[in-house]
Amino acid sequence: MKKTLAFIAILSILSLQSCASQGGANSNQTLNLDVSGTWTLIHIDESSGTTIEEGFPNKKPTLTLEAISKKLTGNTGCNQMFGSFTTNQNHISFSGIGSTKMYCDGVKENEYLTLLNSVKSYKILNDQLIFMDEEGNELLKYSK
């Protein structure tokens, strides 16, 4: 009888522990899914030497993030870009970012890509995706 009760108690503890770890994974997955979609750049850190209007006179950069496949696509205001990303809670990092190489006069593509590669964290506030550096300074802001 005591062995049966001990066995049931151990099974109960393992079941509860399994549910708790699944809950953490689901909440992290939900957070990652929040970044999914196509985002249009609405603000760029002006210390980069440019504004949206000056740096991207014909077309604003867009960024499409697919949380499940961890792929990014979009445009730089001129060229198509692609790459991958990882998230962990509110931290995000990009890797393998590449782009086509069409020439576009007056577009601040390099400044944009430099800022994108400097991103360390993100937050979503009022349907805006905000990318920040290590110190929490806002670098890029997007809307859907």
Give me the amino acid identity at 78.
Answer: C
Query: How far, in Å, are 1, 13, 22, 88 from residue 8 at the CA level?
Result: 11, 9, 21, 36
Q: Supply the pLDDT for residue 48.
A: 73
pTM for the full predicted model? 0.76
* Architecture of the domain whose range is 35-143: Beta Barrel (2.40)
Q: Where are the domains of the chain?
A: 1-31, 35-143
Question: Residue 70 class from Cβ within 10 Å (0-12 exposed, 13-18 middle, 19+ buried)?
Answer: middle
Q: Supply the pLDDT for residue 74.
A: 98
Q: What is the mean pLDDT of residues 47-65?
A: 90
Q: What is the mean pLDDT of residues 102-109?
A: 89
Q: Supply the pLDDT for residue 50.
A: 78
Q: Supply the pLDDT for residue 100.
A: 96
